[in-house]
Amino acid sequence: MSCYPERLSTGGLSRRVLLLAASSTLLRIPAVNIAQAADVPEIAAAADLKYALSEIAAAFAKKTDRQVKLTFGSSGNFTTRIEQGASFEMFLSADEGYVQRLNSEGKTEGSGAVYAIGRIGIFAPKGSALTPDSKLADLAAALADGRLKKFAIANPEYAPYGRAAQEALEHAGLWEKIKNKLVLGENISQATELATSGSVQGGIIAWSLEKSPEVAALGNFALIPADWHHALRQRMVLLQGAGNTARIFYEYMRHAAAGAVLKQYGFALPGETG
């Protein structure tokens, strides 16, 4: 005779009770929480947003209990990936022209909105023979006297901040003289890594990246006049198929709390002078 008669005789009932209890537990979990757990949109973001947007996303998560996955890179490369079907739900570009291009191709939900205007400056790592100044006077002198061996910028072909750097160097009359000394980063974040590494004498980087304590501690920086290059009007947009969390984050980016963080990192807001 079995020593477990009660378990054998009531096993079917026990299983039904357990299933009912489990179902009841699931029913008590609000549906919105289940949806949020699965709805973590991947967001393509310009590399100059590395520090500012990470801080904004953390505040967003704390406020809404929703998460977003941030992927940073060059706006030009992201545009190509989105055209090829990449599964991003939102795009924060460093150049509004890329958003306008995707909108004309039917890849976006509307034309989006300008969220910030970026700035560039010249950076020299500690120990460099180069002294940053806003008019690039010492850069010109360093080119003339041979102090400058290598100089970092983002690739102008893909990165809006690289194009702005080229325009600033052209404005100063230095582009042709410096071209053969350039080391190109795929995006402004990579250019900043090069400029701060000590392997080059300096570089042109985003003010938003230099504003981070991590970068600022590595050298000296001078802001380049805004009228030396086309305005870095940065536009964001929801992409076709965007889910609920991406939509909420898009609206959060237009909120004063997000704007305050952007200003902290050197961005001007729409309607302000860049």
Q: Which CATH number fits domain 118-228: 3.90.650.10, 3.40.190.10, 3.30.2350.10, 3.90.1150.10?
A: 3.40.190.10
With CA atoms as reference, report the closest residue to 136 among 175, 172, 176, 162: 172
Bridge partners for 69 per DSSP: 42
Domain positions in the chain: 40-117+232-264, 118-228
CB 111 within 8 A of CB 125: no
Token match 């310009």: residue?
46
Q: Tokens in use for 177?
A: 């003289």
> Which DSSP string do the residues of 180-238 spell out, in sequence order?
GGEEEESSHHHHHHHHHSSSSSEEEEEHHHHTSHHHHTTEEEEEPPGGGS--EEEEEEE
Given this structure, which CATH class describes domain 40-117+232-264?
alpha beta
Above 60 in pLDDT, residue 142? yes
With CA atoms as reference, report the closest residue to 250 among 94, 97, 68: 68
With CA atoms as reference, report the closest residue to 259 among 43, 56, 59, 90: 56
User: Residue 23, Cβ neighbours under 10 Å: how many?
Assistant: 10
**pLDDT recorded at residue 158:** 87
Q: What is the mean pLDDT of residues 6-21?
A: 40
pLDDT tens readout for residues 31-77: 444 445 458 999 999 999 999 999 999 999 999 999 999 999 999 99
**pLDDT recorded at residue 133:** 98
First to last CA, the chain: 87
pLDDT tens readout for residues 68-122: 999 999 999 999 999 999 999 999 999 999 999 999 999 999 999 999 999 999 9
Query: Do 40-117+232-264 and 118-228 come out as alike in CATH topology?
Result: yes
Q: What is the mean pLDDT of residues 158-186?
A: 97
Strand, coil or helix: what is 46? strand
Region label for 102, one of left (φ > 0), alpha (ψ between -120 and 50) or beta (otherwise): alpha
**pLDDT recorded at residue 23:** 40
What share of the chain in percent tops pLDDT 90?
83
**β-strand 42-46 against 90-92: which pairing, if any?**
parallel
Distance CA 209, CA 159 (A): 15
What does pTM read for this prediction? Answer: 0.81
- Indicate the average pLDDT of the chain: 89
**pLDDT recorded at residue 22:** 42
